Structure 1
Amino acid sequence: MTTPTLHQPAVRTIDQLIEAVRTGTYGPDPAQGRIALAFTTAQAVHHAGRSGGYRNEVLSLRLDAAVGSCAVEPGALPPAALDDCVGASVAELLSHPMLPVQVAALDAYLSHVRPHTPEHGARPYALPAGSSLHRSRARARAVVGLLPATGIRRVLVIGVVNSLLEQLRARGLEYVPCDLKGGATEWDEPVRTDALAELEHCDAVLASGMTLGNGTFQPLLDHAAATGKPLVMFAQTGSAVLPRFVGAGVSAVSAEPYPFFWLDGGPGVIHRYGGTR
């Protein structure tokens, strides 16, 4: 483990972060850390009172006591990917041809050397016990609370989560929902599929960590860094990766490492970085 510190090297791209890991900037040689366990978690949900449901699938890799994760489109991950990961070194997986494997390996390594503790800048936020919907709404309050309290009128939401939209509505904020799958929100609002086309028309961005795994994160980071717009990430994917970009375009992160809130009904915790509240 590295010495706990709030300081971190300046990185502005995922490639720069991977290179910093490879060269030992964050601690142990990633060639020496091997993945002991690779697994996927699949979820289908339809909350009571909601008009529709959805499915999630997540690739997770175990490195010592840490678990790194990256969401994938359901059914998109070939079974051989798990075989590729088990017993491989982190360094090898950082060059894997599948981006989700790279992200999960990077997340596992950074979760190991930069755990979610106050020494590394994390602020714990307790989630209550209860139903999946109850806990989803509690998480939404934590995430939306990372947006600036003033100066925001319209929020670009990338990765539609109805509980987040519900919380934005409760705060009187306009939003533009975007998701590569398209469709409609709980309130029959059309979901846009081209988030980049909407950036100029919004005052802040609220984006899922899934943007890491599908390769759409960098344009968001570049736009936020160039314009100073708040970019808040809610991260099950890359929960230890995205805090490394706070201050370099990302304004705040809600980090949620495995196991995620939807896997259990008991009390839990997420970790918040940056923000003003």
Structure 2
Amino acid sequence: MPTGLPTRSAPPSCSSYGELVGQVLDGAFGPDPRTQHIALAFTTRQAVRHSGRTGGYRNEVFSLRLGAAVGSCAVEPGALPDSAIDACVGADVAQLLHHELTAVRVAALDAYLLHTMEHTAAHGARPLTLAAGTSLEKSRARAEAVVELLDLAPGRTVLVIGVVNSLLEALRSRGLRYVPCDLKGGTTEWGEPVATDAHAHLDHCDAVLASGMTLGNGSFEPLREHALRHAKPLVMFAQTGSAILPRLLGAGVTAVCAEPYPFFWLDGGPGLIHRYGGPGLNHRHGGSS
């Protein structure tokens, strides 16, 4: 995704999400965000029930376009007011990083960082093409790519925050145990109860596999701090914040599977995801590898 901006091979080190926001506002990652204006704001809604699966779900994602970059943050379906879209169009990034809605702040930060630090090898990314296929085929292919970033022996336990049945299926195939957790609760495809309080299970897991949606609901920083404090693997699968989370590698985040808009579920053609960190891969604090 060319931006016409100079490539930064050594991004600043960031020890927390808050520090990352502060550095962006200070211009450490590129042009002054007060000079960068959002051209387009939109939402994407979907309902899905994969063939062969007993349950389905709905998703809604709020997105902002800055140049060629699209930053995104998942929201609860129906929770985002239409006024948020109108308020973002034409606004500068610095304004939106102070917006009252978390989803707007996250999408703005994601758009800015993707605009200035696109997913390239120079910034630590390793691209992986998802083959064309059905929604379930592509979901399973993405799940395999995510789970490969975990470095665990069979029998270990993974806390999965943001239940995706294809991810659970991939963990099962590797002999890994898991605790599924999602604010919605419910059950998994295999009838397992889904916990709603992730933090109650942190001390009883060997690794954490979490959705970028944790950025939008405010639960990410406690996860990052726990992982850092206990030297516990924290692997993020990120449609929300795909350009944000790689900047926190080494600050509690172990690896990231970044999937910027358009997401795999939007069409049946080939797709592209980008992986950072993972087993046997050295990375510097701040996201460059």
Q: TM-score, normalised by structure 2?
A: 0.94
Q: 1:6–1:120: 8 Å Cα contact kept in structure 2?
A: yes
The offset of 1:149, in angstroms, is 4.4
- Name the residue aligned to 1:97: 100
Q: 1:2–1:26: 8 Å Cα contact kept in structure 2?
A: no
Count the aligned residue pairs: 277
Structure 1 residue 199 corresponds to structure 2 residue 202: yes
Indicate the percent of aligned positions where both proteins have the same amino acid. Answer: 68
Q: 1:11–1:17: 8 Å Cα contact kept in structure 2?
A: yes
CA RMSD in angstroms comes to 1.1
The offset of 1:129, in angstroms, is 0.3
Classify 1:151/1:249 alpha carbon distance in 2 versus 1 (closer, same or farther; 3 Å).
farther
What are the within-5 Å matches in structure 2 for residues 18-97 of structure 1?
18-97=21-100
The residue type equivalent to 2:130 in the other structure is L
- Name the residue aligned to 2:276: 273
Q: 1:127–1:135: 8 Å Cα contact kept in structure 2?
A: yes
- Name the residue aligned to 2:114: 111
Q: 1:67–1:111: 8 Å Cα contact kept in structure 2?
A: yes
Moved over 3 A (4+): 149-152
The offset of 1:8, in angstroms, is 2.4
- Name the residue aligned to 1:157: 160
The offset of 1:262, in angstroms, is 0.2
Measured against aligned partners, the alpha-carbon deviations of 1:161-212 in whole angstroms (never above 9, x if no partner) come to 0000000000000000000010000001000000001000000000000000
The offset of 1:13, in angstroms, is 2.1
Give the secondary structure class of the aligned counterpart of 2:33. coil
The offset of 1:150, in angstroms, is 3.5
Q: 2:228–2:252: 8 Å Cα contact kept in structure 1?
A: yes
The residue type equivalent to 2:52 in the other structure is G
Q: Which runs of 5+ in 2 are unaligned?
A: 281-289
The offset of 1:224, in angstroms, is 0.6
Q: 2:235–2:253: 8 Å Cα contact kept in structure 1?
A: yes
- Name the residue aligned to 1:208: 211
Q: 2:17–2:248: 8 Å Cα contact kept in structure 1?
A: no
Distance (Å, rounded) in 2 between the aligned partners of 1:5 and 1:27: 9
The offset of 1:268, in angstroms, is 1.3
Q: 1:125–1:271: 8 Å Cα contact kept in structure 2?
A: yes
What are the within-5 Å matches in structure 2 for residues 94-243 of structure 1?
94-150=97-153, 153-243=156-246
The offset of 1:12, in angstroms, is 2.3
